[in-house]
Amino acid sequence: MATAKTITMDDLLKEENALLPLAQSEVVEGTVLSVRKHEIWIDLGGRGIGLVPRREIGFGRNLEEGETVTASVVEPELEDGFALLSLRKAAKDRGWDEVTRLFEVGETIDVTAYDANRGGLLIELEGVRGFMPVSQLSAEHYPRVNGADKDEILQRLNSLINKTLRVRILDADRKQNKLIFSEKEAVKEGLQERFSKLAVGDVVNGVVTGVVDFGAFVNVEGIEGLIHISEISWERVNNPSDYVKVGDNVQAKIISIDKERLSLSLKQLSEDPWMKEVEQFKKGDKVDGTVTRITPFGAFIQISPAVEALVHVTELGEGEGADPEKLFKLNEQKSFVVLDIDKENRKISLSLNKK
């Protein structure tokens, strides 16, 4: 003999609720009936059929027929009798609880940006949309560009869309619907420990993240390094981009360390050609050289591929009132006499040879 099923009060309430009219902002469960290009249809049982526009599904969410979903009622009944629903709003309402928890405990999480603008990245977490300003990107992803070119910054930010980023929540305010992320805060974890393992003189490997007028930025295992233009090569560097490009793997020497950045050198990993070539000159030698720069205090003369010397205005034979621009032309060759060689400071002084 079959055993009669016991019906509880909860069962009766559920059956009763299943027949109640839908109310605006109510959260309901249903089954996906159909997935179309611009909308999905939800079976709400005895409470009817619901329509969810594509924009209300949520970023990156793929649904299948037969799947159970939770939705928020936007409009209980449209003109055609269907209910207008939002999965995104329901997820957002539940998501704020999780977002608040993550913020309060300071947890490091993985997120994915779904869009970018010139100010930063747009990120959705647990149905809640937030923002990560450019200033909160790590050294690895910060867009170092010449002249803060907005179009180039946006191009660099667009390359981060759909890429997994390790972040912390910097601010979460449910009332103001404000959610701010920071990658910079997340990478601080263990940063000091990594700094403590480095020392001036160490040779490190890194990736070039930005090339600007005054040098190149390098990511060294999450730590930002700068190769100043004067440390790129022993020869005179006018444009750092002639020597390194974004994405290049480089090996550099640490020449100083501060709390947040390394100062690096490429040239100090190779022999200084100046020191080698200067051996061919001695005080009193007559040398021929090419004028490379003209200044109010004199002119710079290239006397070998790696050695540049200065002829001071007082050594032009016309006293301190001499005008170098009247005596010299760029790229012309003249004859000089070596007055002094200062190897410690890498300087050679010349006098104009009047003979």
Q: Residues 266-292: pLDDT tens digits?
A: 999 998 888 889 999 999 999 999 999
pLDDT of residue 9: 55
For 64-73, 88-97, 130-139, 253-262, which range has the lowest pLDDT when averaged over its residues?
88-97
Task: Give mean pLDDT, residues 172-192.
Answer: 87
pLDDT of residue 12: 44
pLDDT of residue 208: 92
Percent of the chain surpassing pLDDT 70: 92
Residue 340 has pLDDT above 50, yes or no: yes
Percent of the chain surpassing pLDDT 90: 44
Which DSSP state fits 355?
Answer: -
Residue 11 has pLDDT above 70, yes or no: no
* 355 or 60, greater pLDDT: 60
Structure tokens at 315: 């050594």
Structure tokens at 95: 């998501």
Which CATH number applies to 198-269?
Answer: 2.40.50.140
Over residues 229-248, the pLDDT tens digits come to 999 998 888 899 999 998 89
pLDDT of residue 76: 86
3-state secondary structure of 141: coil
pLDDT of residue 215: 93
User: Quick check: 217 and 210 in contact, CB under 8 A?
Assistant: yes
pTM of the model: 0.57
Over residues 56-73, the pLDDT tens digits come to 887 667 888 899 888 889
pLDDT of residue 120: 94
Residue 3 has pLDDT above 70, yes or no: no
Task: Give mean pLDDT, residues 23-36.
Answer: 87
DSSP-assigned states of every residue in 250-301:
EEEEEEEE-SSEEEEESGGGS--HHHHHGGG--TT-EEEEEEEEEETTEEEE
- The pLDDT confidence band at residue 7, using thresholds 50, 70 and 90, is low
- The pLDDT confidence band at residue 77, using thresholds 50, 70 and 90, is confident
For 104-108, 156-160, 215-219, 316-320, which range has the lowest pLDDT when averaged over its residues?
316-320
User: Quick check: 255 and 263 in contact, CB under 8 A?
Assistant: yes
Q: What is the CATH superfamily name and number for domain 274-352?
A: Nucleic acid-binding proteins (2.40.50.140)
The whole-angstrom separation of Cα 326 and Cα 298 is: 11
User: Quick check: 73 and 79 in contact, CB under 8 A?
Assistant: no
pLDDT of residue 54: 87
Task: Give mean pLDDT, residues 187-207.
Answer: 86
pLDDT of residue 259: 73
pLDDT of residue 6: 60
Phi-psi region of 4 (alpha: psi -120 to 50; beta: other; left: phi over 0): beta
* Domain spans of the chain, in order of start: 30-90, 106-187, 198-269, 274-352
Q: What is the CATH superfamily name and number for domain 30-90?
A: Nucleic acid-binding proteins (2.40.50.140)
CATH topology (fold) of 106-187: OB fold (Dihydrolipoamide Acetyltransferase, E2P) (2.40.50)
Q: Indicate if 106-187 has the same CATH topology as 30-90.
A: yes
User: Quick check: 131 and 122 in contact, CB under 8 A?
Assistant: yes
pLDDT of residue 1: 44
